[in-house]
Amino acid sequence: MLIQIVLIAVLLGALYVTWRRMRQNVITLGETLLWSVLWIGAGVVIALPQTATLVANFFGVGRGSDFVIYASVVTLFVLVFKIFVSMEGLERKLTEMVRRDALRDLPKKEDAG
Amino acid sequence: MRIIAVIPAYNEEKRIGETIRKVRPLVDGVVVVDDGSSDATFDTAMQSGVTVLRHAMNRGQGAGLKTGTEAALQIGADVIVHIDADGQHDPSFIPVLVDPIKRGEADVVMGSRFMGLRPEGIPLSRRLLHRAIKIFNALVMGIPRKLTDPQSGLRAMNSEASRRLDFRQDRMAHCSELLRLITRSDLRWVEVPVKVTYSEDTLAKGNKNLDAVKIAWQLFIGMFSK
């Protein structure tokens, strides 16, 4: 099917770029392997959709494509949550800077009010 | 004992002047933190001759309180009083709050709206909100149920307690976070009855009912933040 050919071509491209970046020392070998596993795994699921059903059945989900959707929702949830946490970290750093700026001109141990 | 009142203020040009006038005679110093107001809060506070700090941008009530507390410690406070700028806290209760600390009986004193003195103009929805926060505080935050006021903003603490209570929530959730820190520390804490007056103005600015959800969310995210 056409969609399978297109998606696998895209994944092959991604795999190529991943290893190219490794050779350019942009990413580490560990990262390269992690990404490769992801691309190849996606390629296998696209080329042989029944493998997804196999995994899905293992988790108690009936259909492979349903399993992919569930897994994506969980992954997106985790990613969004991580963004929230990192935003909070940035907000706290911002507050710390605003505070330091506000306290800069404060005299020490002098009369106030 | 040097008592310093910390007043965080955000767009309170109409009320900050009067609040400062009322608070000033009861304490040895006043620190106002203008939390990035877009109105004349900063200038109005400056005119009253107290210490005024300014956040370059709005960071929330909790952030303002913390900045003010650090400032108060820097200028040598022995006792720090947190009080709202909008006039809903009656400053005449400051001596009541400070008294247990002066006598060496407590490190932290929290004003409670629910210990006998009837709050004025408190709507039913707000009461329900307080009840919800109280249940959440007990079950999720582990704050003892014997604490009568889950969201009191009027409190006094000695300098040691101020240094130790390292609250990090910038916005509304600082209240619950502080209660958790206080009740889980070995600091001696006590509640005293205070009276709060709700007006249309302060209600419009204060907690909305949806805020309970926001507070819970802020606390949740805060648990994962350094």
ipTM of the complex: 0.88
pLDDT band at B117 (very low <50, low <70, confident <90, very high): low
| CATH for B3-223 (3.40.50.11540, 3.30.70.580, 3.90.930.12, 3.90.550.10) | 3.90.550.10
- Please, how many CA atoms are within 13 Å of residue A56, restricted to the half-sphere of its CB? 17
- Please, how many CA atoms are within 13 Å of residue B15, restricted to the half-sphere of its CB? 18
Smallest CA–CA distance, residue A111 to chain B, in Å, is 7
Cβ within 8 Å of A, B 6-65: 24, 27-31, 33, 36, 49-51, 53-57, 59-60, 63
Residue A14 has pLDDT above 90, yes or no: yes
Residues contacting residue A48 through CB under 8 Å, at least 6 positions apart? none
Give which of B73, B169, B225, B226 to mutate to test A binding, by max A Cβ within 10 Å. Answer: B225
pLDDT band at A112 (very low <50, low <70, confident <90, very high): very low
pLDDT, tens digit (0-9, with 9 covering 90-100), for A21-78: 999 999 999 999 999 999 999 999 899 888 888 888 888 888 888 888 999 999 999 9
Q: List the domain boundaries for chain B.
A: 3-223
Tell me how far apart the alpha carbons of residues B57 and B36 are, in angstroms, rounded to a whole number: 4
Please tell me which residue, A91 or B136, carries the higher pLDDT value: A91
Q: State residue B155's pLDDT score.
A: 96
pLDDT, tens digit (0-9, with 9 covering 90-100), for B172-219: 889 989 999 999 999 999 999 998 777 766 666 666 667 778 888 899
pLDDT, tens digit (0-9, with 9 covering 90-100), for B131-148: 888 888 888 888 988 888
CB contact under 8 A, B33 and A102: yes
Tell me how far apart the alpha carbons of residues B128 and B138 are, in angstroms, rounded to a whole number: 15
